[in-house]
């Protein structure tokens, strides 16, 4: 995002619209810190500028990934989904991403309101790839990898800043504890916040298999459930 300096009167009204505080006032001059801006579009869409000085410059690759991961209106070509471009894990009964015997793990980097550089997403991805996880194919973060087997990202993307990115994977149940421990250890090396999502199918006895692992590790977990009664969309059928 850019500010037209010929139109701007440095009133500062746009500053508190930016979720990552990229609009700054220095020596009475307001401007967007282009390196910090995640291209979320909020300042422009809020229509707060009395002079219509805020404008969207052409978004070319690799900068375009900022908008893909930060602007709720940008649709990911991989999935046709806006926001961060991937289905929520709780839709597992429709997507079937995490079948019996597996655990779904998603690492959400950058929230709340701080953002993340993609080199931190790469750190997590490379650490868990070494444990043999399978990254979710229908997630734009996976297509940012030059090699999903190693979790290495395309070099030109590493310094791009986004509001949030989700590294999403399926892990065999028996490997889940080790993968979670790796994520906790790697998290200490990151420059950003992260939140962790864990998902598994309720078993025949009504238990959530992943809760056994979480309890064993002694970590706090907010338990959220979702029941699809089958209205409107067909349920995923395991083969």
Which of 133, 132, 208, 192 is closest to 168 using CA atoms?
A: 133
Identify any residues that bridge with 196 across adjacent strands, giving them in sequence order: 107
Q: Does 23 bind ligand SF4 (CB under 6 A)?
A: yes
The stretches of the chain forming alpha helices (DSSP H) are 42-45, 64-70, 92-95, 118-129, 140-143, 176-187, 209-217
Query: Rounded to the nearest whole angstrom, what is the least distance from the CB of residue 162 to ligand SF4 in the complex?
Result: 10
CA distance 136 to 12: 42
Q: Does 69 bind ligand SF4 (CB under 6 A)?
A: no
Q: Does 77 bind ligand SF4 (CB under 6 A)?
A: no
Q: Does 59 bind ligand SF4 (CB under 6 A)?
A: no
Beta strands in the chain (DSSP E): 2-3, 23-26, 29-32, 54-55, 75-76, 81-82, 102-109, 116-117, 134-135, 145-147, 152-153, 161-162, 165-172, 194-199
Identify any residues that bridge with 195 across adjacent strands, giving them in sequence order: 108
Residue closer to ligand SF4, measured from CB, 17 or 90: 17
CA distance 172 to 170: 7
Among 37-45, 57-65, 95-103, 136-144, the segment contacting ligand SF4 (CB under 6 A): 37-45
Q: Does 41 bind ligand SF4 (CB under 6 A)?
A: yes
Which of 131, 190, 139 is closest to 168 using CA atoms?
A: 139
Dihedral sign, Cα of residue 146, residue 151, residue 157, residue 163? positive
Q: Does 76 bind ligand SF4 (CB under 6 A)?
A: no
Residue 135: both structure tokens together: 């990254």
Out of 54, 105, 157, 213, name the contact with ligand SF4 by CB under 6 A.
54
Q: Does 65 bind ligand SF4 (CB under 6 A)?
A: no
Q: Does 112 bind ligand SF4 (CB under 6 A)?
A: no
Out of 6, 16, 22, 83, name the contact with ligand SF4 by CB under 6 A.
22
Q: Does 179 bind ligand SF4 (CB under 6 A)?
A: no
Residue closer to ligand SF4, measured from CB, 51 or 90: 51
Interface characters, 124-163, with ligand SF4 (x: CB under 6 A): ----------------------------------------
Q: Applying CB under 6 A, which residues contact ligand SF4? A: 1, 3, 8-14, 17-18, 20, 22-23, 30, 32, 37-43, 48-49, 51, 53-54
């Amino acid at each position: 995002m850019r500010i037209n300096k010929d139109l701007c009167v440095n009133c500062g009204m746009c500053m508190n619209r930016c979720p990552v505080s990229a609009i700054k006032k220095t020596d009475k001059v307001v401007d967007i810190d282009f390196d910090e801006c995640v291209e979320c579009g909020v300042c422009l869409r809020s229509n707060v500028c009395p002079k219509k000085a805020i404008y969207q410059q052409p978004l070319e690759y690799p900068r375009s990934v900022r908008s893909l991961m930060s602007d709720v209106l940008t649709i990911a070509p991989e999935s046709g989904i806006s926001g961060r471009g991937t289905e929520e894990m709780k839709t597992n009964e429709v997507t079937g991403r995490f079948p019996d015997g597996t655990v779904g793990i998603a690492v959400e980097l950058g929230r709340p309101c701080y953002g993340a550089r993609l080199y931190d997403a790469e750190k997590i991805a490379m650490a868990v790839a070494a444990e043999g996880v399978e990254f979710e194919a229908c997630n734009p973060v996976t297509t940012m990898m030059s090699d999903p087997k190693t979790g290495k990202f395309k070099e030109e993307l590493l310094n791009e800043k986004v509001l949030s990115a989700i590294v999403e994977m399926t892990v065999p149940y028996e490997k889940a504890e080790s993968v979670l421990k790796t994520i906790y250890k790697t998290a200490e090396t990151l420059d950003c916040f992260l939140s962790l999502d864990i998902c598994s199918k309720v078993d025949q006895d009504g238990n959530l298999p992943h809760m056994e692992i979480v309890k064993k590790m002694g970590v706090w977990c907010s338990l959220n459930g979702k029941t699809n009664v089958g209205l409107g969309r067909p349920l995923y059928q395991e083969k």
